[in-house]
Structures are given as structure tokens and as C-alpha cells.
Amino acid sequence: MIPHITDSHSSTHALQTFFHYIDRMQSLPNPIGQTGRPPVCRKAFLKSFFLKTWFRLDSLRKLRRFLKDFPYFSHLCGFSKLPHLATFARVATWFREEGYESIHLETLQRMGLRHTLIAVIDSTALRSSLYDSQAAKGKSTRFSWYKGYKLHLCINAEGVVLSYAFVPANRYDSIIAPTVLFALKELDLDIAFILGDAAYDSKDVRKAASQIGPQMITPINKRNGTRKDVYARVMPAFLETALGDLLFDQRNKVERLFHLLKDKGLENPRMFGYHRYRFHVQTMLLMHNIGCLL
């Protein structure tokens, strides 16, 4: 997880620990171009993106200004000369569309995850700027109606993020869940159960879970009306058993993880733009998993 740091010396040491891990990564190609100016290492940009998240900088423009004002951190990232803002934007696009998945997969492989008995899926509300034209209005138990996005996470019992989805706030959980579950298939994990709340009580969600192997366990969503199918008859009785109660208590872990990540800056009500917010979320999730590994 992302450590909680109070003094500058410990902060620098923690950042260096992250940076040493980046230097050992195999999934990051070094050059970003073969013609024109000399190529720049993508690892240096990834380090700067971690700095952006660490110091809660809202934009790449503020990140570049920070690196310009504090040459020590620029040198710590590995920049001999500070690149143009357009280069930062180009590498950020690559990270958002391609780089995150390869780095995420390498990090999970380094953890040696193979047998994961339980996975938990849930979503949380992320508010954005009121001027964000790409955000949507949604409803949450905490804010009632809000404007922003929704983050879906699937984690294991140790709190490691396995897959995610970042969508506007007006998308239903049961519609997004199959995308999150199908992403688990690429990880080749032995998962026995996937736990979710009543929002995931959907035939499509259970079908998606069965296609990748695990058993989906959710409470019955009473808003769906009276049901007579086998799942509606069996699951309430199962959740009353000692095993059902023990399994379903594991759902609290994803809620604690959401609280931890928001305490570290996951939610930013001043941020606007889907791609900018998604880039911020990806960086946070990647730093969390690397922290779990280290």
C-alpha cells in the first residue's frame, strides 16, 4: 500500500524505494522515439507520475512546474533536461492506454499470485469538478446525488488490486461488473469465490463469473421483486450459515481499501476530465500494488 509519511527524509526514502522498483521493471521499453531529439526513458516519466500522485499535483502542467522549481526531484526521476509539456502528455497517454496494463500484470506476477480463494468486488463514488463536462450525476450512500465518476475494484483477501473499471457515475454496477470479472481471466488465478453486495445480484454478473470459474456470492437484491429461481432460494440460507457469514465478512476489506486510497488522495473534487481522472486513478492503484509488493 502507499505508506503514510510525515517527514521529508522518510518521504524521500519511500520515493526512492518506489523508484528502485521501477528501475528493475522489465515491461517498460526505454526509448519513446527513434528520430528527432534523443529518446527519453519512460521509466523517468513513470517516476515523475508517481511524484505527481505523491504530492497531489492536479495536472501535468503543475508537475512540470514542480520539477522545474525543484531540480532535486527532476534529477531523482532521471531527467538530465526537463522535457516539454507535450512530451509529458504523450507519455501519459501511452501509460493510460497501454503502459498501465503491462506494468500491473508484471507487478502481480512478481507477487507470485496463483491461488486466491476469495476475491471481492465493489464500487465507490469519486466526485469531480462541477465544471467537468465528461462527468455524470450518480447516487451513492455517502453523498446521495453527486457529479463525478465511479471506480469498480476487484481485490483479493490481502487487498491487492486485481482488476478495475473507471466509468461515469450514472453507470449501474451490474452492467460494469462483467468487464471487471473478465479482466481476471487474463491473470490465470485460481479463485473460488467472488463476493459482492446486492447491486451485483444479476444473472449477467453470475454468468460472467461462471465463465471464468469462480462462484459469485451476493445478497438478494430486493428491488428486483419477488423471485423463485434457485439462486434466490439457496443464497439467503447459505449466508445464514457459519461459512457464509465468514466469507461475507471479507467484503469489508474492499471498503477499507477505498477509505485508505481516498485518504491518500484518490478522490479529487477539483479534477475534471475523464482521461485526466482515469490517469490519476491508475497511478494510485499501481502505487498501491507496488507498495503491497515491497
Tell whether 171 and 48 lie within a shared domain. no
Tell whether 101 and 118 lie within a shared domain. no
Tell whether 14 and 143 lie within a shared domain. no
Q: Which of 80, 108, 136 is the last residue of a domain?
A: 108
Please say whether the dihedral angle defined by the alpha carbons of residues 202, 203, 208 and 214, taken in this order, is positive or negative. positive
pLDDT of 121: 94
pLDDT of 273: 92
pLDDT of 229: 72
pLDDT of 28: 72
pLDDT of 4: 46
In a domain, residue 175? The reply is: yes
Q: Which of 84, 108, 132 is the last residue of a domain?
A: 108
In a domain, residue 32? The reply is: yes
In a domain, residue 282? The reply is: no
Tell whether 96 and 140 lie within a shared domain. no
pLDDT of 234: 77
Counting the structural domains of the chain, the total is 2
In a domain, residue 139? The reply is: yes
Q: What is the CATH number of the domain that holds 130?
A: 3.30.420
Tell whether 119 and 241 lie within a shared domain. yes
pLDDT of 222: 76
Q: DSSP label at 83? A: P
> Domain of 14?
8-108
Q: DSSP label at 292? A: H
Tell whether 76 and 163 lie within a shared domain. no
Tell whether 104 and 120 lie within a shared domain. no
Tell whether 142 and 230 lie within a shared domain. yes
In a domain, residue 163? The reply is: yes
Residues of the chain with pLDDT under 70: 1-11, 29-40, 114-115, 224-228
pLDDT of 228: 64
Distance of CA 260 to the CA centre of its chain: 12
Tell whether 131 and 191 lie within a shared domain. yes
Q: DSSP label at 95? A: I
pLDDT of 91: 92
Tell whether 27 and 141 lie within a shared domain. no
pLDDT of 150: 95
Tell whether 40 and 180 lie within a shared domain. no
In a domain, residue 292? The reply is: no
Tell whether 27 and 75 lie within a shared domain. yes
**Interval 203-259: pLDDT, tens:** 899 899 889 888 888 888 777 666 667 777 777 777 778 877 887 788 889 999 999
Is the full-model pTM beyond 0.85? yes
Q: Which of 108, 137, 164 is the last residue of a domain?
A: 108
